[in-house]
Amino acid sequence: MVLVEELRALGVEPSARVFRGVRFEADLATAYRLHLSLRTASRIQRVVTEGEAPGLEAMSELAMAVDWTQWLRAHRPYRVQPVVPEGRDGEALARVVAEAVSARFAGQAGPRYDADHDYPVTIVAHWREGKLTLGLDTAGRALHKRGWRVNGHPAVLKETLAAAILLLAGYDGTEPLLDPMCGSGTIAIEAAYIALGKAPLIHRGKDDFGLEHHQGFDRALWRQVSDEVRAEKRDTLAAPIFARDLRPDFVDLARKGALRARVEKFITWAPGAIEALDPPAAGGLLVANLPYGERIGRGEVERLYAGVGHALRQRYAGWRAALLVPADAPVHLLDLDRPVGHRLKNGSLDVRLLLTRDASG
Ligand SMILES: C[S@@+](CC[C@H](N)C(=O)[O-])C[C@H]1O[C@@H](n2cnc3c(N)ncnc32)[C@H](O)[C@@H]1O
């Protein structure tokens, strides 16, 4: 799991795998750093309490035992987000948690329950197999929302998935990188962040993280950690990054995103079809998120896959490739030599990442 590797690189050893995530303990400064620096996590939660709770009464007891005044601030709106298996009553769970919060603040100014409030303050009530975990969503807005995206492309990758692809491919910024189908530029922009050692969430605005709204938030420590993380960024690349797309309007869009992400000058941009594109360097890593059949016809997809495979074999000897394709894509037409495959999810879509040693096969 690439997230585990990321945590380890930041000095944190996960203690367990949990449903769609990992559990870890860290001191406050490290926890703050993770919010700014993790590239592939979409959420971070601080566990408040957990225990066996087979029924609603036990859930209520568990929630009532928490001193919510230690976690939530007066007057702030908050919501409770139940996460339960299908068919279970999430509303009832949210209600008992909200009642427990009100009971704990009885007689003093408390936080304001607002079910429609999206973020920043969310109590996540996760019930699974008779066990309840109550946690605070410390990220607030999902972490793939880096803050730089410009809308206008119909098939963007989540930033966290783009980062995961790059890390799975072993990209560390020391070899040239080319995304010949850059679309809105997600892969190239995330690559620039990795290559510069730049934290992906460093440009988020003040008060944008959930943790900034929780009781006990240490603003001075947060500032100190943010300054340290910011200072770690390098000013130059060790190897160039190239981004191309068939459509000049997408190249323009990607540049705009990169400008907002403050890495535009580190990427070389140009329009052009991959079939006609000469390699911009003798070797490196070619990463592409191939178009999906939903938006273009099957015949066109097949022509494209055959064309990409041909281009890689003919002109990209010396390049490794990392290709993200739908699970049902005609990968045989790419004719790659024994690629290593990883099964991933792109939203709800099953996809595969195919990694080759070098793109010539
Ligand atoms: C799935 S999208 C890539 C999305 C991108 N990863 C992002 O996050 O925005 C595929 C892109 O390939 C481009 N494309 C399609 N055929 C191409 C070709 N023959 N050569 C270069 N680019 C092509 C499309 O214009 C589209 O932007």
CATH number of 159-200+232-355, picked from 3.90.330.10, 3.40.50.150, 3.40.605.10, 3.40.50.740: 3.40.50.150
With 60 as the cut, is the pLDDT of residue 8 above it? yes
pLDDT at position 360:
46
pLDDT in tens, 206-238: 899 999 999 999 999 999 999 999 999 999 999
pLDDT in tens, 165-176: 999 999 999 999
Counting ligand 1 atoms within 8 A of each CB, the residue from 158, 246, 287 with the most, and so the one to mutate, is 246
pLDDT at position 310:
94
- The residue that leads in pLDDT, 357 or 230, is 230
Is-same-fold flag (2-137; 159-200+232-355)?
no
User: Residue 221 phi/psi, 5° resolution?
Assistant: -65, -40
pLDDT category at 18 given cuts 50, 70, 90 is confident
Q: Give, using CA atoms, the residue closest to atom 7 of ligand 1.
A: 156
Rounded Cα distance between 207 and 354, Å, is 39
With 50 as the cut, is the pLDDT of residue 81 above it? yes
Read off the amino acid at residue 5: E
Under DSSP, is residue 357 helix (H, G, I), strand (E, B) or coil? coil
Domain at 2-137, CATH class: alpha beta
Q: Give, using CA atoms, the residue closest to atom 4 of ligand 1.
A: 183
| Burial label, 320 (beta-carbon count in 10 A; 0-12, 13-18, 19+) | buried
- The residue that leads in pLDDT, 349 or 258, is 258
pLDDT in tens, 279-316: 999 999 999 999 876 667 778 889 999 999 999 999 99
Ligand 1 atom closest to residue 308's alpha carbon, by position in its atom list: 19
SS (H, E, C) 186-240: HHHHHHHHHHHCCCCCCCCCCCCCHHHHCCCCCHHHHHHHHHHHHHCCCCCCCCC
Counting ligand 1 atoms within 8 A of each CB, the residue from 153, 158, 187, 245 with the most, and so the one to mutate, is 245
Most trustworthy range by pLDDT among 13-22, 37-46, 350-359: 37-46
Rounded Cα distance between 234 and 198, Å, is 7
Q: What's this model's pTM, rounded to 2 decimal places?
A: 0.94
pLDDT in tens, 314-336: 999 889 999 999 999 999 999 99
pLDDT at position 293:
65
Residues with CB under 6 A from ligand 1: 153, 155-157, 180-181, 183-184, 186-187, 245-247, 250, 273-275, 289, 291, 304
pLDDT in tens, 89-106: 999 999 999 999 999 999
Delimit the domains of the chain by residue range: 2-137, 159-200+232-355
